[in-house]
Amino acid sequence: MPTTSDLAPVIILNATQMAENIGAAARVMANFGLADLRLVNPRDGWPQERAWALASGAEWPLNAAQVYESVAAAIADLQLVFATTARPRELQLPVLTPRQAAGELHAACLQGQRCGLLFGGERAGLETSDIALCQGVVTVPIDPRFRSLNLGQAVAINCYEWRTTVQDAAPPAFRPGPPPASGEALLGLYEHLERELDTAGFFHPPEKTPNMIQNLRSALGRARFTDQEVRTLRGVVTALSRGRGKVLEKIARKSGGDGGEPA
């Protein structure tokens, strides 16, 4: 089972009303490598089975969750805490985006500081008195026409931004793909296509043929076809050329079978 990393912020949920939102928060915490969950006065008490149902198997943050009677108690051992809110307050605190906050939290954690992100309840958010215990405010840059953001979504956005400070790269491919085709295979495709294009009269005027061939090869080469794709494309070229032959046969039959131009 994953364990709490010393280089990750604590997630503190204050006065959460719905156990489902606690489960959703635990799920995204697990997605992005956080495991230390603290709950301040959850409305329906703790534990709640509905939280485990919504966590969809991400049980370790829930199993280790600690419950506190106040925000002050929940953050007593932390050295840097940011409060998340979408509402302007009269407090003179730095206001950060989740990305900026994640960078500052990461730097503090690397220095050995214990850090946290504080989230308010679904209905009223955080009280000014709780925000005053923090060292900064985190606000998601959402559209001002609709500032309401689900608690689980807010936790997800901040956890994701934290994750990018630790591993800012796409995951490896689910399975390794086949290697690109060899130069020999590509040359066979090029020459096959060029022969058929020449037969069809594509290269016109003749003096531009070398440049047109060069452009075609350059465009096809950028695709980095696999051997299978090269074989497929050669099959396409063959099918098209045979189709052209069938058209010519029909024209010949309509003109009396002599292969000349139709009357």
Alpha carbon 132 to its chain's center: 34
Q: What is the mean pLDDT of residues 21-50?
A: 92
Burial of 149 (0-12, 13-18, 19+ CB in 10 A): middle
Q: What is the mean pLDDT of residues 98-112?
A: 94
State the sign of the Cα–Cα–Cα–Cα dihedral 162, 167, 170, 172: negative
Instruction: Say which residues have a Cβ less than 8 Å from residue 59's Cβ, sequence separation at least 6.
Output: 26, 52
Q: What is the pLDDT of residues 118-137, one digit of tens each?
A: 999 877 788 889 999 999 99
pLDDT band with cut points at 50, 70 and 90 for residue 263 = very low
Alpha carbon 168 to its chain's center: 11
What values do phi and psi take at 67, rounded to 5? -110, 135
Q: Does 25 have pLDDT greater than 80?
A: yes
Q: What is the pLDDT of residues 51-60, one digit of tens each?
A: 888 888 888 9
Give pLDDT, residue 164: 92
Radius of gyration of the chain (CA): 32
Burial of 260 (0-12, 13-18, 19+ CB in 10 A): exposed
Give pLDDT, residue 192: 95
Give pLDDT, residue 221: 93
CB 78 within 8 A of CB 10: yes
Which tokens in the block code for residue 149?
A: 């953001």
Q: Does 238 have pLDDT greater than 90?
A: yes
Give pLDDT, residue 168: 73
Range of weakest confidence among 105-109, 209-213, 258-262: 258-262
CB 61 within 8 A of CB 68: no
Give pLDDT, residue 189: 95
Q: What is the mean pLDDT of residues 183-199?
A: 94
Rounded to an integer, what distance in angstroms lies between the CA atom of residue 141 and that of residue 78? 26
Which tokens in the block code for residue 110?
A: 């690397």
Give pLDDT, residue 6: 58
Collapsing DSSP states into helix, strand and coil, what is residue 15?
A: coil
Q: What is the mean pLDDT of residues 135-160?
A: 90
pLDDT band with cut points at 50, 70 and 90 for residue 71 = very high
Rounded to an integer, what distance in angstroms lies between the CA atom of residue 249 and that of residue 243? 10
Which tokens in the block code for residue 13?
A: 């949920």
Comparing 90 with 50, the larger pLDDT belongs to 50
